Amino acid sequence: MTYPFSALVGHDRLRLALLLCAVRPEIGGVLIRGEKGTAKSTAVRGLAEVLRAADGASLVELPIGATEDRVVGSLDLQKVLRDGEHAFSPGLLARANGGVLYVDEVNLLHDHLVDVLLDAAAMGRVHVERDGVSHSYDARFVLIGTMNPEEGELRPQLLDRFGLTVDVHASRDVEVRSEVIRQRMAFEVDPSGFASRYREEDGALARRVAAARAAVGSVTLPDNEIRRIAALCAAFDVDGMRADLVVARTAVAHAAWRGADTVAEEDIRVAAELALPHRRRRDPFDDPGLDPGQLDEAMAHAGESSDSPGSDPDPDPDPQPPGGDGSSASSDGASSQRTSGSATRPSAPPSAVFRTRALVVPGVGEGAPGRRSRARNRTGTVVSSTSDVEIGHGVHVFATLLAAAGRQTTAGRPRPEPADVRRAVREGREGNLVIFVVDASGSMAARDRMSAVGGATMSLLRDAYQRRDKVAVVTFRQDQARLLLPPTSSVYIAGRRLARFDTGGKTPLAQGLLAARDVVVREKARDRARRSLLVVLTDGRATGGPDPLGRTREAAARLVAEGVAAVVVDCETSHVRLGLAEQLAHQLGAPAVRLAHLRADSLTDVVRTAA
């Protein structure tokens, strides 16, 4: 029994976004972002029941592990082998036609599959050209994706392809939370009885959706409102024209939803609130969301522009530069405290983020698809075939037919047997676990140097985001190491944690390395296929405790024993170089690169990929 859509407590904006996309699927779907336990999936399944009542639409769920063949369709191998017929077998997108396609944890779906889904949602059709098959079919559906930002972000290019986004959060209002508990417990005690109490409300929504769908084609979008939309999108400096079109389609759908025959300013405001926030995030470190005050000002300017066709709207309604809220203010005035005789102070703000060259793990792995190191996985390019089902990904049709033909002793069509089946060996790229080990001790705490280290780390974090890695951050200072950030796919959260942290004190380098090893061991237990890359940012000076150099060598040896690939970023800046970071790199069997050489235009092949 599905929890009724009308019984959801709160989440008014989420429900409206879902209903508008049901009225006009050309909007491009809804991306629902929110922490776990915020009724994301419950809302989607409730909407599916409303649409089932409205026009018989069905809900199709796309699993995270689905292959491209399963999504778009492929050659019908059974008919090829049994009947010799060149036939096509449609995929999940064909089943979703006229209904709802739901992707839970869409941020964990492979990028190329997300592209396929969004293209289909925008065009309403799927075109397949593969395995000697040319096929096309209708795929008009309401696309809904849900995600927990703590588990990783979609790339901005993919975010832009979703028509609308909604951020959902658990209410902090006690009365609202109490009502959620009452409703859910009542549903669990008597699902059928609970659903029957909301049947009429859900039925009314279904009828309203059907009516809005019928009316949406006749809604008028006046020229002055078109100019308002164009001015509004220009004011927010969004890339391309997709935002303008999505706002226009959503405004028309909202007008139809409220029973109007002409788009008004209120429709455009609702559309902007749903369509623009995610299109302003050009960088993984940008804050999500849309400032209501800035939207008010932009709407006012847009209104002036729509009233005066010859006017030139102000493209920047908010003159404050990024970060102008004081969050990156200097910490010079911050008071320092004494701990064990050493000063503790916040780290300096990171210097400018730059483009860095890729660091890769040697060898060929078998981890989750990504964009860093070489790997054999299901999304790579076919390089050979194999009879080993543990190695291959998907059936290699032609190799299978060749194996059957080679065994055949009489003329005629090959008749493959189970032993003839060959699987495709694919080679592509994988995402890794990148563990940043940052020296936060007193020897590194000079303001300019720590700022440079922060900027370098943020640059590497952005690179990890683009290459679909998980990241973890360990800092060490005083007499201990701290896991500043457990492994996560959310580079945004990592960037927030690294923006400011305590510095000063001695240099427990060994503890930092051992803490990183602990992270590696724990993650191996969770995902043995994901390989780790250790990035150590330090000047190599080990102090504190008995035999700090000996303990560092021992910690490095333990990391080597785990098979961890590493890179040491040498942060030493003195004119007389001690070369301690280079010694650490030697102990780790890793290359060393100076901090100043980390930029893409000066860094050469830091870690070479082994065949």
**CB-CB contact of 98 with 111 (8 Å):** no
Tell me the two tokens of residue 589: 């069997």
Neighbours of 147 (CB within 10 A): 22
Task: Give the start-end residues of each E strand in 230-341.
Answer: 337-339
Residue in 140, 137, 27, 154 with CA at minimum distance from that of residue 72: 137
8-state DSSP, 207: H
Residue 166, helix vs strand vs coil? strand
Q: Which residues pair with 34 in a beta bridge?
A: 168
Kindly state the tokens that stand for 121: 């949602």
C-alpha dist (Å) from residue 592 to 580, 583, 586, 604:
11, 9, 8, 11
Surface-to-core class of residue 182, CB atoms within 10 Å of its CB (0-12 exposed, 13-18 middle, 19+ buried): exposed
Residue type (1 letter), 348: A
Tokens of 391: 């190695």
- The 3-state DSSP class for residue 369 equals strand
Long-range contacts from 492-495, C-beta under 8 angstroms, 24+ separation: 492/149, 492/153, 492/284, 492/285, 492/288, 493/149, 493/150, 494/461, 495/284, 495/285, 495/458, 495/461
Contact between 19 and 258 under an 8 Å Cβ cutoff? The reply is no
151: number of Cβ within 10 Å: 15
Catalytic entry in 184, 242, 447, 599: 242
Looking up tokens 């102000």, which residue turns up? 314
What is the C-alpha to C-alpha distance for residues 365 and 376, in angstroms, rounded to an integer?
A: 6
Distances (CA, A) of 182 to 6, 39, 257, 552: 15, 15, 30, 57
Helix axes 548-561, 580-588, angle to 10 degrees: 30
Scanning 326-469, the segments in alpha helix (DSSP H) are 397-407, 447-466
Query: What is the β-pairing status of strands 337-339 and 470-477?
Result: unpaired
Q: How far apart are CA 286 and CA 289, in angstroms?
A: 9
Compute CA distances 256 → 23, 211, 275, 544, 551, whole Å: 8, 8, 17, 70, 71
Residue 242 is among the residues annotated as catalytic for this protein: yes
d(CA 228, CA 299): 8
Q: Which residues are catalytic?
A: 242
